[in-house]
Amino acid sequence: MSNTAQQLIKTAASLHQAGQFDAAINACQEALVRVPDYPDALYFLGVLSAQAKNYPNAEHYFERAIAADPKRAEFYGNYANALLEQQKYPAAIIQGLKSIALNPNHPQSQNIVGNAYLMQGDFVAATPYFRQTVALNPSYASAHHKLGTALQRQQQFSEAISCFEHALSLQADYPEAFHSLGQTLLESGQIDSAYRCYQKFLDLHPEDASVRRKMMEVHPIWNEALQGQQIILRRFLETDSDYLCQCYADDNFMRFYHHYLPRKLSSEALAAKLRQNAVLHPCQLKTIDWLILRIDQPGEPKPIGIANLVDIQFAHRRAELLIGIPNPEDRQSHAGLEAALLIMDFAFNRVELHKLTSYVYGINPLAQKNTLSLGFTQEGYLREQLLQPENGQLMNLYSNGMTVNDFRTNRRLAKLALRLLKRDITVA
């Protein structure tokens, strides 16, 4: 082997470290002039080409280097990494396994194979390679994160959480680990902890709108009461079962409020269901149910109705609005209007939904008129859409919607809110 060729590779390494890539390439090529098929020169040219994203050249040089010296584990390992970067996952696995066969104690090759399996969606196959990576290099934060990801996708939440926390103990400013930990905590039902993780992610990347939406999905604000002037809306409690049973037993009310809600539960059975739901966050239920209580009269707050956001689709930032007040006298006090304003304020300003929908039965034209007067736009009219269980007749259905832009630009809503809530809710 020419001493000059070896010296040229050392020079190329120094130039590469100094950021002089073209000069490093020239030094490698000069070494090949002196010693054709010099494996170290071919290998280094493969590394430099891969760093420049010139993958055809990288593959060419790696293959020549391997042909010249097929016992060098690092040749296969860096070839595998170049293939991984091109999303050639099966080929990356083949080369990565050849590297591991020659040197099983090389954490980078173990990690490359794990990543290739992970990107193919084979989480079971990826797991042992990430385990081996962190065993060989316990301070490898990214490998702990990827191991956690593989475990999370297998619903092994407890161990996945430990992996993400370990990654963060090694690298405190690791936003991807915060995001993964938040998602895993959410999937495992640890809502408050997920909220704190998303907050920490946003401390590092406050401009990330998608993570902000995830944070709003699990925000504690969903559990807070909505305070008005004459009413307050709070989430259902177990103790509301008697009142709710009375509402559900009122056929005339239910005919317009919700035809298809299960209505035959006893007060005790309903109380048990309410108790179960009370410990769950609305993001887990995909709905939030409020009791409407009058607070402007002497004595204890009096329940007068029900309000809901149902079919909450967090991915699309959309929910369906329902409000029902059984007693006509309570409806005359503008309690329903105030409830609607409170919910719009909550939906658009506090939890940052993009759209509210409202479906109104064709047998309730007054409700449709009131819905449009609030600023909803009729988006559809479905003829003979629903079967009425009490008489077997088909009824029509109005489909209405309000976007956040509709809400912000509605001057009538602004005036109503100033009158009933003493503030303009349409202002962002």
Q: What does the pLDDT look like over 262-292, one tens digit per residue? A: 777 899 999 999 999 999 999 999 999 999 9
Please say if the pLDDT value at position 298 is more than 90: no
Phi and psi at residue 262, to the nearest 5°: -60, 130
Write down the H helix ranges in 188-331: 191-204, 209-217, 241-249, 251-257, 267-278, 282-285, 328-331
User: What pLDDT is stored for residue 264 in this prediction?
Assistant: 79
pLDDT of 2 higher than 80: no
Determine the Cα–Cα distance for residues 406 and 409; give it in Å rounded to an integer.
Answer: 5
Select from 245, 410, 253 the least CA-distant residue to 331.
253
**Tens digits of per-residue pLDDT, 325-382?**
999 988 888 999 999 999 999 999 999 999 999 999 999 999 999 999 999 999 999 9
Instruction: Pull the structure tokens for residue 191.
Output: 């809502």
Question: pTM value?
Answer: 0.86
Helix then strand then coil, in percent of the chain rounded to 5, is 60, 15, 25
Q: Report pLDDT digits (tens) over 171-198.
A: 999 999 999 999 999 999 999 999 999 9
Q: Output b/e per residue, 305-321; b: 16+ Cβ within 10 A.
A: bbbbbeebebeebbbbb
Residue type, 244: L
Using CA atoms, how far apart are residues 151 and 158, in angstroms rounded to an integer? 9
Q: What is the average per-residue pLDDT within 122-128? A: 98
3 pLDDT exceeds 70?
no
Read off the tokens for 212. 């902000």
pLDDT over 70 at 107, yes or no: yes
30 Cβ partners below 8 Å, 6+ apart?
A: 8
Q: What percent of the chain lies above the pLDDT cut of 90?
A: 88
pLDDT tens digit sequence for 379-420? 999 999 999 988 899 999 999 999 999 999 999 999 999 999
* DSSP, res 277: H
So what's the pLDDT on residue 332? 84
Give the three-state DSSP class for 311: strand
What are 197-227's pLDDT values in tens digits?
Answer: 999 999 999 999 999 999 999 999 999 999 9
* Predicted pLDDT at 370: 95
- Cβ burial, residue 143 (10 Å; 0-12/13-18/19+): buried
d(CA 110, CA 4): 35
- Please tell me the predicted confidence (pLDDT) of residue 21: 87
Nearest CA-CA partner of 264 in 278, 256, 279, 254: 254
Query: Where are the domains positioned within the chain?
Result: 3-217, 228-420
- Mean pLDDT, the chain, rounded, equals 95
Confidence of residue 297 (pLDDT cuts 50, 70, 90): confident
pLDDT at 34 over 60: yes
Closest CA to 30 of 51, 7, 47, 53: 7
Cβ–Cβ contacts within 10 Å for residue 187, how many?
Answer: 13
Distances (CA, A) of 339 to 42, 225, 242, 347: 73, 12, 22, 12
Q: Domain 228-420: give its CATH superfamily.
A: Gcn5-related N-acetyltransferase (GNAT) (3.40.630.30)
Confidence of residue 260 (pLDDT cuts 50, 70, 90): confident
CB–CB of 284/189 below 8 Å? yes
In CATH terms, is domain 3-217 a member of 1.25.40.10? yes
